[in-house]
Structure 1
Amino acid sequence: MGVTGIGGFFFRAHDPEMLGAWYAEHLGVGSGTGGPWQTAAGPLVFAPFPATSDYFPEDRGFMLNFRVDDLDALSARLTAAGIDVVTNPDWDMPGVGRFARIHDPEGNPIELWQPD
Structure 2
Amino acid sequence: MKKRVTGIGGLFFKTKDVNATKDWYQKHLGFNTDEWGCTFKWKDDSGNLGTTQWSPFSEKSTHFEPSKKEFMFNYRVENLVELLKELKKEGVTILGEIQEFEYGKFGWILDNDGNKIELWEPIDENLFK
| Deviation for aligned residue 1:92 | 2.3
- 1:69 is the counterpart of 2:78: yes
- In structure 2, distance between residues paired with 1:28 and 1:115: 12
Partner residue, 1:59: 68
Query: Matched residue pairs, number?
Result: 78
Identity %: 32
Larger radius of gyration: 2
What does residue range 24-39 of structure 1 map to in structure 2 within 5 Å? none
- 1:103 is the counterpart of 2:110: yes
- In structure 2, distance between residues paired with 1:72 and 1:97: 12
Partner residue, 1:82: 91
Q: Structure 1 87/78 Cα, relative in aligned 2: closer, same or farther at 3 Å?
A: same
| Deviation for aligned residue 1:97 | 1.0
- Kindly provide the CA deviation profile for residues 16-67 of structure 1, in whole angstroms up to 9, marking residues without a partner as x: xxxxxxxxxxx568xxxxxxxxxx8321000111111111127211111001
| Deviation for aligned residue 1:104 | 0.7
Are the counterparts in 2 of residues 87 and 99 from structure 1 also a CA contact under 8 Å? Answer: no
Return structure 1 stretches of 4+ with deviation > 6 angstroms: none
| Deviation for aligned residue 1:88 | 2.7
Structure number with the bigger relative contact order (C-alpha 8 A, sep ≥ 6) is 2
SS at match of 1:88: strand
| Deviation for aligned residue 1:86 | 2.5
Structure 1: gaps (5+ residues): 1-26, 30-39
SS at match of 1:45: strand
